[in-house]
């Protein structure tokens, strides 16, 4: 064998393997980043908000349905994993990055906090309208799991909903908890910093937690909740004096802002200042 044909053979081998790897990855996860947190319980990251998926023989629970291409990819992945199961969807809140895939699931039970139809249609898409409003809390009986769908009231929006898996100790927190992101404080949707603080404290007391899945960023431990509490404490102080503002700006400089809205350090500060003056 000549040196050239040897190199060509090696190259062909590498190209073939790359094609196999890419093809395999592409058709199994459709380009989605997925982590199995507990048996049959997954977090599907990004492309809109993070989603949770819990699969049993008879039913699938989807927490948040993403948006645009991400929503379509999530649907394809769920349908491949669970082609015949009944689908239950929970929207942690009304924002489109968490609810724009609802319409892709025919005959699904779609739950959300009790915003009501008029408010929903004003802020989100009519085609994604839920068919069950959760006013307080609901316990879904699941094979080997108790699923608590819990309306915590006003924090990130007027009607935030958490999903807690009691056996697996997994909490899907929606945008009440973020990891490494500034929150989007949307006054039209009912954002309230005081509400965030109450709900974050309540989460730590109410649930025994192994995994917290934030609305954006990586899943982690309860540390994500205490970090979020510290963020609001620091930002509230920063809104009151220039020195604290400089310290906080430095401390949170690695935080990202969500691309679909105006969230960021300055928005958090001005939101807090505005709500202090209104009080």
In the bound state with Zn ion, the residue whose beta carbon lies nearer, of 95 and 168, is 95
Pairing of strands 160-165, 170-174: antiparallel
The rounded distance, in Å, linking the Cα atoms of 171 and 150 is 11
Binding mask 187-226 for Zn ion (x = CB under 5 A): ----------------------------x-----------
Nearer to Zn ion, 82 or 185 (CB): 185
Q: At 195, is the secondary structure helix, strand, or coil? A: helix
Q: How far is the CB of 68 from Zn ion (least distance, A)?
A: 13
Q: Which residue is closest to Zn ion by CB?
A: 95
DSSP codes joined into one string, 67-131: -HHHHHHHHHHHHHH-SSSEEEEE-SSS-HHHHTTGGGSTT-EEEEES--HHHHHHHS-GGG--S
Q: Which is nearer to Zn ion, 49 or 70 (CB)?
A: 49
37, 40, 43, 49: residue in contact with Zn ion (rule CB under 5 A) = 49
Q: Which of 95, 96, 168, 182 binds Zn ion (CB under 5 A)?
A: 95
Counting residues that bind Zn ion (by CB under 5 A) gives: 5
Point out which span in 3-11, 49-57, 138-146, 243-251 binds Zn ion (CB under 5 A): 49-57
Is the sign of the CA dihedral 104, 107, 112, 118 positive or negative?
Answer: positive
Q: Does 160 bind Zn ion (CB under 5 A)?
A: no
Backbone dihedral angles phi then psi of residue 162, each to the nearest 5 degrees: -105, 155
Least CB distance to Zn ion at residue 195 (A): 13
Helices then strands (H, E): number in the chain?
A: 8, 12
Binding site for Zn ion (CB under 5 A): 49, 95, 97, 175, 215
């Amino acid at each position: 064998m000549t040196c050239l044909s040897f190199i060509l053979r090696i190259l062909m081998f590498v190209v073939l393997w790359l094609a196999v790897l890419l093809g395999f990855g592409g058709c199994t996860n459709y380009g989605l980043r997925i982590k199995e947190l507990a048996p049959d319980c997954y977090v599907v990251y990004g492309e809109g908000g993070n989603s949770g998926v819990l699969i049993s023989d008879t039913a699938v629970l989807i927490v948040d349905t993403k948006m645009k291409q991400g929503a379509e990819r999530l649907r394809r992945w769920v349908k491949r994993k669970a082609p015949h199961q009944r689908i239950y969807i929970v929207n942690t809140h009304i924002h489109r990055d968490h609810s724009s895939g609802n319409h892709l699931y025919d005959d699904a039970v779609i739950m959300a906090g009790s915003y009501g139809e008029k408010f929903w249609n004003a802020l989100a898409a009519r085609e994604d309208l839920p068919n069950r409003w959760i006013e307080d809390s609901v316990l879904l009986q699941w094979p080997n799991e108790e699923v608590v769908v819990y309306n915590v009231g006003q924090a990130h929006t007027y009607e935030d909903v958490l999903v807690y898996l009691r056996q697996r100790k997994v909490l899907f927190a929606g945008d009440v908890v973020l990891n490494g992101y500034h929150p989007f404080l949307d006054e039209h949707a009912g954002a309230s910093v005081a509400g965030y603080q109450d709900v974050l404290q309540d989460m730590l007391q109410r649930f025994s937690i192994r995994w917290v899945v934030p609305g954006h960023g990586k899943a982690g431990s309860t540390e994500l909740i205490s970090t979020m509490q510290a963020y609001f404490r620091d930002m509230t102080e920063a809104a009151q004096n220039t020195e604290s503002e400089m310290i906080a700006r430095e401390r949170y400089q690695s935080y990202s802002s969500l691309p679909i809205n105006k969230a960021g350090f300055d928005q958090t500060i001005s939101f807090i200042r505005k709500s202090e003056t209104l009080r």
